[in-house]
Amino acid sequence: MGNTMNVAVISQVYQSNRQELLALKKKAEKDGKKTIHREGWEAAEVACSVDESDRDIHERLFTLYDKRGNDEVPSKPFLSGLATITNNTLEERIHIALEIWDEKGSGYLSQEDVQSCFVSMAKTCEYFGDDRMDFEQLEELVQSMFDTFDADLVDLKMKYRDRIADFAVHPIMEIYLGRQTMDG
């Protein structure tokens, strides 16, 4: 395996936290769209007094998530990618990222949403040079969690807030994102 501590190092200097990410999301998303334009994002950074070093990181990740090169990113993947580098425990990072995908604030997410969230988190880790978690591993991780807690599902959705600790200690998650903290 290659270099597996880059996100951990970045998270030590990254200053934005959960509240700031959610405030940035609110200010940057316009007219109920599920995308963020670069100009709106930069204005939101100014309005939220985001530190210059965080802005530099945001700029790089914005470019990564801007697949079409049109200065627009899908908000949920971009913001859950940013959640990956917050200076928090693995459980807190997972919680922030999943919360971003929970648009209605219901506490429930579909298997597809959980998987998409983890794809974004893995994409950010890979961007910073950490080992790549492939799609099959992500699919296995999420499928096994939904299978394990099948009795708790409501309309095929998992109450993710009750399962964050379970996700954090899942062997696949520990192999990749579990190494991304320097807190112990």
Integer Cα distance of 69 and 37 in angstroms: 11
Q: What is the DSSP letter of 170?
A: S
Q: What pLDDT was estimated at residue 66?
A: 97
**Confidence label for 184 from pLDDT (cuts 50, 70 and 90):** very low
Integer Cα distance of 114 and 61 in angstroms: 20
pTM of the entire predicted model: 0.88
What angle, 0 to 180 degrees and rounded to 10, lies between the N-to-C axes of helices 111-127 and 75-83? 60
Half-sphere exposure (Cβ direction) of 119: Cα atoms closer than 13 Å: 14
Instruction: Please determine, for residue 179, whether its predicted confidence score (pLDDT) is greater than 60.
Output: no
Residue 143's identity, in one-letter code, is: Q
Half-sphere exposure (Cβ direction) of 177: Cα atoms closer than 13 Å: 31
Instruction: Please determine, for residue 122, whether its predicted confidence score (pLDDT) is greater than 70.
Output: yes
Cβ proximity of 111 and 143 under 8 Å:
yes
Instruction: Please determine, for residue 5, whether its predicted confidence score (pLDDT) is greater than 70.
Output: no
- Summarised one tens digit per residue, pLDDT across range 13-34 is 888 888 999 899 888 887 677 8
- Summarised one tens digit per residue, pLDDT across range 72-114 is 999 999 999 999 999 888 899 999 999 999 988 999 999 999 9
Q: Copy the structure tokens of residue 29.
A: 């998303």
Higher pLDDT, 134 or 8: 134
Instruction: Please determine, for residue 177, whether its predicted confidence score (pLDDT) is greater than 70.
Output: no
Q: What pLDDT was estimated at residue 154?
A: 87
175 exposure class (CB count in 10 Å sphere: 0-12, 13-18, 19+): middle
Integer Cα distance of 3 and 90 in angstroms: 18
The tokens 């080992």 sit on which residue? 131
Percent of the chain clearing pLDDT 90 (strictly above): 55
In the three-class reduction of DSSP (H, G, I as helix; E, B as strand; rest coil), residue 131 is classed as coil
Q: What pLDDT was estimated at residue 92?
A: 92
Give one DSSP letter per residue of 64-120, joined into a string.
HH-TTSSSEEEHHHHHHHHHTTSSS-HHHHHHHHHHHH-TT--SEEEHHHHHHHHHH
Higher pLDDT, 150 or 5: 150
Collect all residues with Cβ–Cβ distance below 8 Å to 40 and sequence separation of at least 6. 27, 28, 29, 30
Higher pLDDT, 116 or 29: 116
